[in-house]
Structure 1
């Protein structure tokens, strides 16, 4: 079993190599978020979350809402099951679409790109979604696998002792984690930039979030009929902790194949020890 302290030390060394995300005292406030989750053997369409989320609107809008989906239908992303199963679904939010070329250059340097899917959006959001305070980001999903040459270089120069170099699945996940952190720092945290960030990076998992309510995520990105076997919806109602990860609102997708939400003072990345 991997020593937790070794993992924590490895993460601290990685984050120390990049500029730090800014923290603001005004980000800390007491509260409790609205959360809904479901898992089903049959695919469930996004519209079935509306009633639960609407009943919890009083637990937002602390400037964010989001949904997570697991067990996706590849045809709804214009791809096939083999591609969905064999790649990382790398979802990028563009707050400034002008940086897309630069982001994709970084992605294509690090990964083999197998498929790209651009999420459709509700063009009449300004009149139909009156609760939205800002235009949500454009979202592009990249179905990727790490380049073998880059992974080999990563093993030689950056891989922590916490990961067994012979365990290629674990090595690739760590490589993806490092690549995401570098992208977020360059396009979101560097010199006050808020241009683009990675929403999620995993297999058969997707996170979407906005400055608004979670049900408006479903409406804006036209998820009403999009299906998944697992759904999480989250209204942000600020807690005591200081959120430093790009995107502000939960679900957080910082871990590989993970979506994290909570509704209170359980944890907020202030400290892990």
Structure 2
């Protein structure tokens, strides 16, 4: 079972990453030293209107050229640069972390209720499903994900997360069960403004994956948190559910508990279970998003 942690300042007062580093390092018994990650909100005030795309490149110049060209087809790159990193003796570098500050062109998605986010979704799915040696690991505004294979302290020091200030921090210490060498595998998983860290196992993964892919999402990694991020995006952004209803869909009450509810509440929960049965997640799991 993995270690997860989250903190939010409701006044949006900024916190540097030193506290989240210390908090996650106290849960090293919940990890295997083969993956950790952090997500922070509010860290890019100078580019807060841009989508901050964090990308792992497999150290191939060709893969970056392909992503550059793809983004330029769909909008304007405001800034493109390597994410600052600092070599750690216990962390073996297998890719180059990069970031783009990108403005999609909404005119390229006519008829969409949320054209910018539809474009970003399609770009993330297209890049991650390709064989070009690139993986987009975060794609929201004023948010970034930092992860790698290693202990939480090594990953935090590799990115020097104490140099970043955010009003929300999420963290994940991975207890590896598969693909230990893949930098993109540790949580957090991110899509737009939603980032997910999870502890446990979703036993309904196959059903949830087929359901989300029926709406055009492409799941490039067999990881629970990727599915959860896509489900939240579908329910909240595309279907217009508020977050409380989305939670009821993903983790609904038992039928016997619904039978004991007042009629209006029971009718709502029955309707959600019937309409979104394939989105329901079976555990055991704990999620922070």
Shift of residue 39, structure 1, vs aligned partner: 1.0
Q: Aligned match of 1:145 in 96, 103, 117?
A: 103
Shift of residue 225, structure 1, vs aligned partner: 2.3
Closer, same or farther: CA 268–225 of 1 in aligned 2, 3 Å: farther
Structure showing greater Rg: 2
CA contact (8 A) 2:17 2:164 kept: yes
CA contact (8 A) 1:66 1:213 kept: no
| Equivalent residue, structure 2, for 1:221 | 159
Structure having greater relative contact order (Cα 8 Å, sep ≥ 6): 1
Correspondences of 1:53-68 after superposition (within 5 Å):
53-61=24-32, 63-68=34-39
| Equivalent residue, structure 2, for 1:94 | 57
Q: Aligned match of 2:79 in 85, 90, 115?
A: 115
Matching of residue 263 in structure 1 with residue 199 in structure 2: yes
Question: What is the aligned residue count?
Answer: 205
Distance in 2 of aligned mates of 1:215 and 1:45: 15
What CA deviation, in whole Å up to 9, does each residue of 1:20-77 have, x standing for no partner? xxxxxxxxxxxx1101111123211111123221111111126321101112243xxx
Gaps of 5+ in 1: 1-31, 75-79, 156-164
Distance in 2 of aligned mates of 1:50 and 1:116: 27
Gaps of 5+ in 2: 209-277, 279-289
Distance in 2 of aligned mates of 1:63 and 1:250: 12
| Equivalent residue, structure 2, for 1:176 | 120
Closer, same or farther: CA 145–103 of 1 in aligned 2, 3 Å: same
TM-score (norm 1): 0.67
* Structure 1 SS opposite 2:126: helix
Shift of residue 96, structure 1, vs aligned partner: 2.2
